[in-house]
Structure 1
Amino acid sequence: MELHQLQILRELGALGSVTAVAAALRVTPSAVSQQLAALQRGFRTPLTRRQGRSLTLTAAGEVLAAAGAEAIDAMAAARSALDAFEHDVTGVVTLSGFHSAGQALFGPVLREMRAPAPSVQLTDEDVAQTEFPALTARYDLVLAHRMEHSAPWPTQGMRSLTLVREPLDVAVALSHPLAKRRSLTPADVAGERWVTSRIGYSPDDVLTTVAAIANHPVQVQHRINDYGAVAAVVATGDAIGMLPRYTSRSVDDRDIVRLPLEGVNTLRSIDLLSRPENLRRSSVRAVVEALQRVMARLSG
């Protein structure tokens, strides 16, 4: 039983397919299958089973994967002890972020990195809320968003750190009758035409709640995930929309008004997700601290 075999078993449980594990670990699917077969030879109890075309973990496999995660973490702790002794904060740190977080945080975080500092590699990953945990197999740090009323992030083999709790505000054109209001309720906006996000993203989640509270179906005219494009549509008066309060400050507000929505929880949590062994690295912690400073300024 080798440590890399336990890592493959854990990733199979997290990602759900040999192909996905191979992509995350940058090896071939056949190499993944060979290592799983070698691991299985050390145990009489089956660790995996076929479910359709997918390969999934058995209950025994899940137990071994959980124990393996602890072994991987322990090995990372040993390596981290040496890193701490040498005060090494250099190295490559990979960071992914959804679009609005990337626009708001990527540039300032790079400016926060002062020598000696890690080399930060940035990637934008605009995925639905449920897909963020899987990204921790590919990146050291993952910027993710989660509506407060939704299920918490998984805790098995993953850690989460909240950077900010961010409200979503209603955006209307400067010429819209609602623009003179100081705040809005679901009843005020349910009958409007909307530009919102694709299903599975924060604005659409809030809009579904608005319809339920107002007991009125909403008319979705446009589905756009880019907040700059949302603001441009809102400015024409064709529809109203929803914008995050802190991470969309780069949006042109000259022709729109942002208004808080009362009577419904519009808060989303912007979190950092990571594998626990990554957080033991000094270089990764340096990027986490930089993100915390930038977000504190942005939300302050």
Structure 2
Amino acid sequence: MEVHQLQILRELGDLGSVRAVAEAMFVTPSAVSQQLALLQRGVDVPLTRKEGRTLVLTDAGRILANAGAAVIASMADARAAIGNYQNDADAPVTLAGFHSVGQSLFAPLLARLKEAGGPQPLFSDEDVAQHDFPALASRYDLVLAHRMDHTPPWPEHQVVVLPLAHEPLDIAVPVGHRLAGRTAVEPADLVGERWVVSREGYSPADILAAVAAVSGGAPQIIHRINDYATVATLVSTGNVLGVIPRYTAGASVGHGVVLLPLEGIANRRRIDLLARPESMRRASVRRVAEALRATMADRATG
């Protein structure tokens, strides 16, 4: 039995005729009769009987109609509870981010939200390969994700995508390196260099693979490190070069490292906010998403 069928049965008991029920519910009398017939198929005892030309409830029908009224009231309470939950602009919001974006955005985002009076974000770090980001939306309200321009787009049938930034990845060289005084570098300038780079499936490794493809020189990868602060420290020793995102990790570069723009290949990654459609119906989630947009804009222009 369906809730709307119980509603029709209840209205029949209160209003006394199929025509009156149809008028009250803005449907045809035949639609009312059809739904009553469908409800009757699932019950072993008669729910209605004819009195002359009028259809009325039996004792069993009245019992079910009263029980249906309780169900309808409970459903109304449930809808109200969901409505309150979705409209609560201060409800906590779970947010996952990869390491570099967490280091650069979590603290200023928290300060921005505190100044605005909420809501409370609940942070987690999730540094996964690009194709694994959409699945995180099942565990978190919002997911900060990144992908290179040439990689497949996010599955928009699965997640809502809110673009935040189009971030260049720069070449990190030690102070005193032969390239340190340049304003930019190209793939041919990097042939023969030794590297510290991320694991496969992450943006820096993709950039270095593109550099190798264009220059024709196989890179000498010495270290596989995903943490950009560690990458910068290793670059500062003078033994390796690295690949570091400009907006989200540039602050981790110390005085011994120079970041150089890379020209001649596509070297930008998209930083996007992913969420399931039902999560974006919540007012507090939308507030955090807007605050994230403003915080990332500050980073990109600062």
- Tell me the TM-score normalized by structure 2: 0.71
Work out which of the two has the higher radius of gyration on C-alpha atoms and give 1 or 2.
2
Alignment partner, residue 107 of structure 1: 107
CA deviation vs aligned residue, 1:198-234 (integer Å, no higher than 9, x gap): 0000000011111111111111011100000000000
Give the drift of 1:90.
Answer: 1.3
- CA–CA distance in 2 between the matches of 1:124 and 1:108? 16
Counterpart Cα distance in 1 of 2:82 and 2:294? 26
Matches within 5 A, 1:38-57: none
Aligned residues: 224
Contact 2:174 2:258 survives alignment (8 Å): yes
Q: Which runs of 5+ in 1 are unaligned?
A: 3-77
Residue 163 of structure 1: aligned partner: 164
Identity %: 51
Q: Partner of 1:280 in structure 2?
A: 281
**Distance in 2 separating the partners of 1:146 and 1:96:** 16
Structure-2 residue corresponding to 1:224: 225
Q: Is the Cα contact below 8 Å between 1:141 and 1:274 reproduced in 2?
A: yes
Computed over aligned residues only, the root mean square deviation of the Cα atoms, in angstroms, reads 2.1
Q: 1:106 to 1:178 in 2, by over 3 A?
A: same
Residues 36-69 of structure 1, C-alpha deviations (whole Å, 9 max, x = no match) = xxxxxxxxxxxxxxxxxxxxxxxxxxxxxxxxxx
Task: Report the more deviating stretch, 248-257 or 211-220.
Answer: 248-257
Match runs of 1:64-143 below 5 Å: 82-83=83-84, 88-114=88-114, 116-143=117-144
- Given residue 293 of structure 2, which amino acid in structure 1 is its aligned partner? Q
Q: Secondary structure at the match of 2:147?
A: strand
Shift of 1:249: 3.1
1:139-185 CA distance string (max 9 Å, x none): 00000000011100011221111100000000000011110111101
Partners of 1:99 and 1:126 within 8 A in 2: yes
Native 8 Å contact 2:158 2:276 kept in 1? yes
Q: CA deviation at 1:81?
A: 9.0
CA contact (8 A) 2:194 2:240 kept: yes
How far, CA to CA, are the matches of 1:256 and 1:113 in structure 2?
33
Structure 2 CA distance, aligned partners of 1:83 and 1:188? 59
- Judge conservation of contact 1:104–1:249 (CA < 8 Å) in 2: no
Q: Secondary structure of 1:182's match?
A: coil
Question: Is the CA contact (8 Å cut-off) linking 1:96 and 1:139 kept in structure 2?
Answer: yes
**Cα deviation digits, residues 256-288 of structure 1 (max 9, x gap):** 111011100110000000001101110001100
1:80 to partner: Cα distance: 10
Name the amino acid aligned to 1:120. P
The alignment partner of 1:249 has SS state of helix
Q: Is the 8 A contact 2:233 2:254 kept in 1?
A: no
C-alpha distance in structure 1 between counterparts of 2:82 and 2:117, whole Å: 19
Match of 2:53 in 1: none
Calculate the TM-score normalised by the size of structure 1: 0.71
Q: Offset of 1:138 from its aligned partner?
A: 0.3
Q: Could you list the per-position Cα deviations for residues 68-98 of structure 1 after superposition, in whole angstroms to 9, with x for gaps in the alignment?
A: xxxxxxxxxx7799349x9631112100000
